[in-house]
């Protein structure tokens, strides 16, 4: 029964079961910069609250800057929708294949399955839990239309190896950077190496507007069409900029534009990014320092950040030595009023995964990680006393 109620938590990225007020330390709390209502008020006062207005333009420009100035960011209603937009833009269709990790969020698979494609799941690395780049070349076949990599916890995948594998075969690389905004690989911002990348501004992410996302377009040839597909298959974006005198139906598409109200809210958070990232980094480093000795003594692995990666400090996880130790620590923390959660249930080992011919045992590292992983509370407003309470509770536990 317990497992059942927790399943949506484990499958989801954010893991926010309704936190009863009884949690002394909740798992997550949405950040508030203090400026959100002011900017939302400005958007309302302007009289235009649908998408494509000045707050959308400002948030997209700031995202472009954060991403190094060569990428075009298009705000969308979610990261899930940005992935759907990516699948449509890459013309993925029935009979095609998409290569992706099994240890990731369900939307990565769904976006392509919705277009009729078959997911080809790849196992992950034991250290970063990112897609195992050494397995990707063999997973690419004549029908592969995309390889999607996800930067788990905000730590970069081996993008050099992935870029090589995909370029050799002429297959586009898509980065799911839902965890990765503000992270870097070899000095480059995550989300700027693949042909396309996606971002999430869901409540559980570093920067949020409740629900929202972005498609990052790194190939200038795809920008105009991405705008059209996002805007119901019309050239309304050009019309709004005064580039055409009427807008028409010119392609397929859907309604993936983010409201100005949410763009204004998001802008307030993006402007507070230094504060957010400084707090998250401090909390992450405090966990790493305070738990290192305990982890070594109890066969537990702490997150590893390769030397060429700058973490986005999206999450802090432990890999316990056994599934029983993970479940035991989770229960122990809950008894101390601390909500710690696990994820992901590997996609290949799910009812949908089985429909595509996968079975338990096919991808052992994803299964190993899924059964042993526990995420500790990490959010910008986690105060030192609460974090100390979490650390003390972990140190009491014998794995």
Ligand X SMILES: *Cc1c(COP(=O)(O)O)cnc(C)c1O
- What residues make contact with ligand X under the rule CB under 6 A? 13, 78-80, 104-105, 107-108, 150, 176, 178-179, 200, 202, 213
Least distance between ligand X and beta carbon 387 (Å) = 23
- The 3-state secondary structure of the chain reads CHHHHHHHHHHCCCCCCCCCCCCCECCCCCCCCCCHHHHHHHHHHCCCCCCCCHHHHHHHHHHHHHCCCCCEEEEECCHHHHHHHHHHHCCCCCCCEEEEECCCCHHHHHHHHCCCCEEEEECECCCCCCECHHHHHHHCCCCEEEEEEECHHHCCCCHHHHHHHHHHHCCCEEEECCCCCCCEECCEECCCCCCEEEEECCCCCCCCCCCCEEEEECCHHHHHHHHHHHECCECHHHHHCCCCCCCCECCCCCECCCCHHHHHHHHHHHHCHHHHHHHHHHHHHHHHHHHHHHHHHCCCECCCCCCCEECCCCCEEEECCCHHHHHHHHHHHHHCCECCECCCCCHHHCHHHHHCCCCCCCCHHHHHHHHHEEEECCCCCCCHHHHHHHHHHHHCCCC
CB 89 within 8 A of CB 229: yes
Least distance between ligand X and beta carbon 249 (Å) = 27
Least distance between ligand X and beta carbon 125 (Å) = 16
Question: Which residue, 153 or 330, is less far from ligand X as judged by CB?
Answer: 153
Question: Which residue, 79 or 340, is less far from ligand X as judged by CB?
Answer: 79
Question: Which residue, 108 or 266, is less far from ligand X as judged by CB?
Answer: 108
Question: Which residue, 196 or 399, is less far from ligand X as judged by CB?
Answer: 196
Least distance between ligand X and beta carbon 69 (Å) = 24
Residue among 106, 100, 152 nearest 126 (CA): 152
Question: Which residue, 200 or 237, is less far from ligand X as judged by CB?
Answer: 200
Question: Which residue, 107 or 234, is less far from ligand X as judged by CB?
Answer: 107
Alpha-carbon span 201 to 269, nearest angstrom: 10
Least distance between ligand X and beta carbon 259 (Å) = 14
Least distance between ligand X and beta carbon 37 (Å) = 22
Least distance between ligand X and beta carbon 150 (Å) = 5
Question: Which residue, 77 or 144, is less far from ligand X as judged by CB?
Answer: 77
Question: Which residue, 291 or 345, is less far from ligand X as judged by CB?
Answer: 345
Least distance between ligand X and beta carbon 122 (Å) = 15
């Amino acid at each position: 029964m317990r497992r059942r109620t927790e399943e949506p938590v484990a499958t989801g990225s954010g893991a926010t079961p309704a936190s009863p007020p009884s949690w002394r330390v909740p798992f997550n709390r949405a950040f508030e910069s203090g400026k959100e209502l002011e900017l939302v008020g400005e958007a309302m006062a302007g009289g235009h609250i649908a998408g494509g207005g000045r707050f959308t333009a400002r948030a997209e420009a700031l995202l472009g800057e954060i991403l190094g100035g060569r990428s075009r960011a298009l705000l969308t209603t979610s990261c899930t929708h940005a992935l759907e937009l990516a699948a449509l833009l890459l013309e993925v269709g029935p009979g095609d294949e998409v290569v992706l990790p099994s240890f990731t969020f369900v939307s990565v698979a769904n976006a392509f399955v919705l277009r009729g494609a078959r997911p080809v799941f790849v196992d992950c690395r034991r250290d970063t839990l990112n897609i195992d780049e050494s397995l990707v070349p063999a997973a690419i076949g004549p029908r592969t239309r995309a390889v999607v990599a996800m930067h788990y916890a905000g730590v970069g995948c081996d993008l050099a190896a992935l870029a090589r594998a995909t370029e050799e075969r002429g297959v586009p690389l898509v980065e799911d950077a839902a965890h990765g905004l503000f992270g870097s690989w070899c000095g480059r911002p995550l989300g700027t190496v693949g042909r396309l990348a996606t971002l999430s501004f869901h409540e559980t992410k570093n920067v949020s507007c409740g629900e929202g996302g972005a498609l990052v377009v790194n190939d200038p040839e795809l920008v105009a069409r991405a705008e059209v597909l996002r805007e119901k298959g019309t050239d309304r974006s050009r019309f709004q900029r005064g580039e055409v005198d009427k807008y028409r139906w010119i392609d397929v598409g859907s309604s993936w534009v983010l409201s100005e109200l949410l763009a204004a809210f998001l802008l307030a958070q993006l402007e507070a990014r230094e504060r957010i990232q400084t707090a998250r980094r401090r909390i992450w480093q405090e966990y790493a320092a305070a738990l290192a000795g305990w982890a070594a003594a109890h066969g537990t692995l702490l997150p590893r950040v390769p030397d060429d990666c700058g973490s986005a400090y999206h999450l802090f996880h432990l890999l316990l030595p056994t599934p029983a130790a993970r479940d035991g620590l989770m229960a122990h923390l809950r008894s101390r009023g601390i909500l710690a959660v696990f994820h992901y249930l590997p996609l290949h080992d799910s009812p949908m995964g089985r429909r595509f011919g996968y079975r338990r045992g096919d991808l052992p590292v994803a299964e190993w990680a899924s059964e042993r992983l526990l995420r500790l509370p990490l959010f910008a407003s986690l105060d030192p006393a609460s974090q100390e309470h979490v650390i003390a509770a972990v140190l009491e536990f014998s794995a």
